[in-house]
Amino acid sequence: MRHLVLGGVRSGKSRLAEKLAKNYDLPVTYLATARAGDTEMQARISEHQRWRPKHWSTQEVSDSRLPEELARLLDQPGVVLLDCLTLWLTQLLCDQPLNAQGLARVDACLDELVEVVQQKPKAHLILVGNETGLGIMPLDELSRAFGDRAGLLHQRLAEVCESVILTAAGLPLILKGSSPWLD
């Protein structure tokens, strides 16, 4: 089963994803993509770490190696929880020059990720991403490149995932599929 859990900042998406992972009653690998670039981000990461059960395995991959690592993890039984797609995308964009070649490298990496998710995994997969396309059109080129790619990535993943859930105010809104664990 592949779940895509979307929502805004502090919408409850990560907690919902963790609830889904716990309900499988299988070994969980938490694939963390955030980089602690400042003290505020380190505090956010620490908060997420405190929420997670101690027996979960955590791996940190915040760069273009993510699709390869995800493919490896999905080839074994269990649950893989990837949090967060949009933080990962932000870091990919910031690691490349903002030109046609740099954006092509980012797009190729996104294509690779979608290809990995499209495969029939042995593990259950829970993907978490920020739904950022509900606001105004950004003024700068980097923000527009991010918004376009995040929106298209979410659309492509929603197409291949059996379950898509949008969180708002801590509440799950099921967009595709169903989950008896959310009742």
Pair type for strands 124-130 and 2-7: parallel
In sequence order, what DSSP letters do the residues of 77-114 get, joined into one string? SSEEEEE-HHHHHHHHHHHS-SSHHHHHHHHHHHHHHH
DSSP 52: S
148-176: pLDDT as tens digits: 999 999 999 999 999 999 999 999 999 99
Residue 57: per-residue pLDDT: 94
What is the distance between the alpha carbons of residues 129 and 135, in angstroms, rounded to a whole number? 16
pLDDT-derived band at 65 (thresholds 50, 70, 90) equals: very high
Neighbouring C-alpha atoms within 13 Å toward the C-beta of 77? 3
- How many other CB atoms are found less than 10 A from the CB of residue 69? 18
Residue 64: per-residue pLDDT: 95
Q: Considering only residues 9 and 35, tell me which one the structure prediction assigns the higher pLDDT.
A: 9
Q: What is the mean pLDDT of residues 131-147?
A: 88
* Annotated active-site residue in 48, 55, 124, 154: 48
Active site residue 124: no
The answer as to CATH 3.40.50.300 being correct for domain 2-178 is yes
Q: What is the mean pLDDT of residues 45-49?
A: 80
Residue 52: per-residue pLDDT: 83
Q: Considering only residues 87 and 47, tell me which one the structure prediction assigns the higher pLDDT.
A: 87
pLDDT-derived band at 183 (thresholds 50, 70, 90) equals: low
What is the distance between the alpha carbons of residues 7 and 165, in angstroms, rounded to a whole number? 8
Contact predicate 81/30, CB 8 Å: yes
Ranking 40-49, 119-128, 140-149 by mean pLDDT, the lowest is: 40-49
- Give the start-to-end residue ranges of the domains of the chain: 2-178
Q: Considering only residues 44 and 86, tell me which one the structure prediction assigns the higher pLDDT.
A: 86
182, pLDDT greater than 70: no
DSSP SS3 for 7: strand
What is the distance between the alpha carbons of residues 137 and 60, in angstroms, rounded to a whole number? 31
What is the distance between the alpha carbons of residues 69 and 65, in angstroms, rounded to a whole number? 6
| Mean pLDDT over the full length of the chain | 92
What is the distance between the alpha carbons of residues 154 and 41, in angstroms, rounded to a whole number? 24
Q: What is the mean pLDDT of residues 84-96?
A: 95
Contact predicate 20/12, CB 8 Å: no
pLDDT-derived band at 98 (thresholds 50, 70, 90) equals: very high
pLDDT-derived band at 181 (thresholds 50, 70, 90) equals: low
Per-residue burial over 22-53, b = 16 or more CB atoms within 10 Å of its CB, e = otherwise: bebeeebbbbbbbbeeeeeeeebeeebeeebe
Burial of 158 (0-12, 13-18, 19+ CB in 10 A): middle
